[in-house]
Amino acid sequence: MSGEEYGGAGAADDGTDRLVGPEAESDESAVEAALRPRELSEFIGQPKVREQLDLVLKAARQRNGTADHVLLSGAPGLGKTTLSMIIAAEMGAPIRITSGPAIQHAGDLAAILSSLQEGEILFLDEIHRMSRPAEEMLYMAMEDFRVDVIVGKGPGATAIPLELPPFTLVGATTRAGLLPPPLRDRFGFTAHMEFYEPAELEQVVHRSARLLEVRTDAEGAAEIAGRSRGTPRIANRLLRRVRDYAQVKADGVIDREIASRALGVYEVDERGLDRLDRAVLGALVKLFGGGPVGLSTLAVAVGEERETVEEVAEPFLVREGLLARTPRGRIATPAAWDHLGTARPAPAPGRPDPAAGPGQPGLFGE
Ligand SMILES: Nc1ncnc2c1ncn2[C@@H]1O[C@H](COP(=O)(O)OP(=O)(O)OP(=O)(O)O)[C@@H](O)[C@H]1O
Ligand SMILES: [Mg+2]
């Protein structure tokens, strides 16, 4: 897996209702939409992306032209959709929203492209999941603002060239590594979204609390931010759950104590691990002595699908340095034992200690 892939791309369809997974209920997505920053200046964090994008958009506006095509890459919930809407707002342009999986045939794309207005923003979410023929049509549209519409079938088929008005394609992907290079190269600007710093997430929590009219103090916001896995979407979701708790069990005001108790109820621990994460880690440590153990075995042990473990739980556990993927299977790192508060057993005689790392046998043993 390349460094540009984040996994979790399939998480939106996994059907589970994990607190830190993507939103399932539509009223919650409505809240999410309401919390989206509308202007670049309101967008918290990502200072590099903001500065670069600001230049791209300002320059295009000064030229009275359309902005270059933009690719937004980053893990789920970091603000790609939000940024695409901000781009449209900053350019004063209408936006058309579609996604890779929605474009099955080149004809679907031709229909969308041919109905674009000059300067319109075309937002193509999950662009890595577009079909090959559509992708090839997109190359030409991006570069020459032209598509060949094929009319008829077989030997009688003819290609009718169709001029397109200049438009800006904004592509979003959680898996930039899966994009074919010819497609990647046709974007004039690629924004790599990073996970957010705790201080930035605190700002996100404060901003959302203001919009939701929830009272929270600095420590309460920090507590939520610290458990949000570097992800604004999760920060917003945890805030709403803590709000519920504060409303039902207290006077509605969120402080550290309330935030901590509420997140305890929802089984989100101090580091942002949820029930599934801890189940995976717990199985790895307690049932398999820290591994190495195969993904399928691990999945069976926690009663989940392979894909759920691989795409939902693992990326975060790997990022946190709690779990490592090795050619022989998954292993727990020493940090995993510490986090679960379990003592590490001494490695079995004659068996290499997977978690100790090279040259430090028994360092963490009893
Ligand atoms: N920089 C930010 N400042 C404030 N809020 C943000 C920021 N980025 C994202 N959010 C909030 O996080 C939520 C999720 O953002 P968004 O939907 O844009 O993520 P995404 O990258 O498109 O995720 P996905 O890959 O799942 O589509 C939004 O509701 C938005 O309010
Ligand atoms: Mg999105």
DSSP readout, 50-100?
A: HHHHHHHHHHHHHTTSPPPPEEEE-STTSSHHHHHHHHHHHHT--EEEEEG
Name the phi and psi angles at 287, rounded to 5. Answer: -85, -35
What does the block give as tokens for 149?
């519409």
CA distances from 29 to 23, 44, 52, 173, 194 (A): 6, 20, 29, 19, 22
To the query of whether residue 174 is one of the catalytic residues in this protein, the response is yes
Q: How far is Cα 232 from Cα 267, in angstroms, rounded to an integer?
A: 19
Q: Among the residues of 232-272, which ranges form H helices?
A: 232-249, 256-265
Cβ < 6 A, ligand 1 pocket: 22, 32, 35-37, 43-45, 76-82, 174, 204, 232-233, 236
CA 24 to chain centre: 15
What is the structure's pLDDT at 363? 46
Confidence of residue 18 (pLDDT cuts 50, 70, 90): low
- Which member of 66, 82, 168, 174 is catalytic? 174
Place of tokens 């958009």: 57
Residues 212 and 239: beta-carbon distance below 8 Å: yes
Confidence of residue 359 (pLDDT cuts 50, 70, 90): very low
- pLDDT tens digits, residue range 83-126? 999 999 999 999 999 999 999 888 899 999 999 999 999 999 99
CA 305-309-310 angle, 5° bins: 110
Q: How far is Cα 126 from Cα 148, in angstroms, rounded to an integer?
A: 24
Specify the ligand 1 atom closest to the Cα of 82: 18
Least confident segment among 121-130, 143-152, 317-326: 143-152
What is the structure's pLDDT at 95? 96
Name the phi and psi angles at 147, rounded to 5. Answer: -135, 150
**For residues 131 and 12, which has the higher predicted lDDT (pLDDT)?**
131
Residues 354 and 291: beta-carbon distance below 8 Å: yes
- pLDDT tens digits, residue range 275-321? 999 999 999 999 999 989 999 999 999 999 999 999 889 999 999 99
Specify the ligand 1 atom closest to the Cα of 232: 12
Q: How far is Cα 95 from Cα 170, in angstroms, rounded to an integer?
A: 10
Residues 6+ apart with CB under 8 A from 222: 198, 202, 256
Q: Is the pLDDT of residue 264 over 80?
A: yes
Ligand 1: residue of 18, 38, 48, 81 to mutate (most ligand atoms within 8 A of CB) is: 81
Report the separation in Å between the CA atom of 84 and the middle of ligand 2, taken as the mean of its atom positions.
Answer: 9
Confidence of residue 355 (pLDDT cuts 50, 70, 90): low
Question: Mean per-residue pLDDT for 76-89?
Answer: 96
CA distances from 32 to 21, 79, 123, 278 (A): 14, 11, 18, 27
To the query of whether residue 81 is one of the catalytic residues in this protein, the response is yes
Single pTM value for the model = 0.85
Beta bridge partners of 169: 122
To the query of whether residue 233 is one of the catalytic residues in this protein, the response is yes
Residues 148 and 158: beta-carbon distance below 8 Å: no
Report the separation in Å between the CA atom of 178 and the middle of ligand 2, taken as the mean of its atom positions.
Answer: 17
Q: Is the pLDDT of residue 7 over 60?
A: no
Specify the ligand 1 atom closest to the Cα of 79: 18
Write the DSSP string, 199-238: HHHHHHHHHHHHHHT--B-HHHHHHHHHTSTT-HHHHHHH
- 195-233 in b/e form (b: 16+ CB < 10 A) is bbeeebbbbbbbbbbeeeebebbeebbbbbbbbbbbbbb
- Which member of 175, 233, 243, 330 is catalytic? 233
* Nearest partner of 286 among 357, 339, 359, judged by Cα: 339
Is the previous residue joined to 292 through a cis bond, with omega within 30 degrees of 0?
yes
Report the separation in Å between the CA atom of 126 and the middle of ligand 2, taken as the mean of its atom positions.
Answer: 8
Residues 96 and 122: beta-carbon distance below 8 Å: yes
Place of tokens 């937002």: 123
> DSSP state, 146?
E
What is the structure's pLDDT at 345? 73
Mean pLDDT over all residues of the chain? 88
Q: Is the pLDDT of residue 358 over 90?
A: no
Residues 217 and 205: beta-carbon distance below 8 Å: no
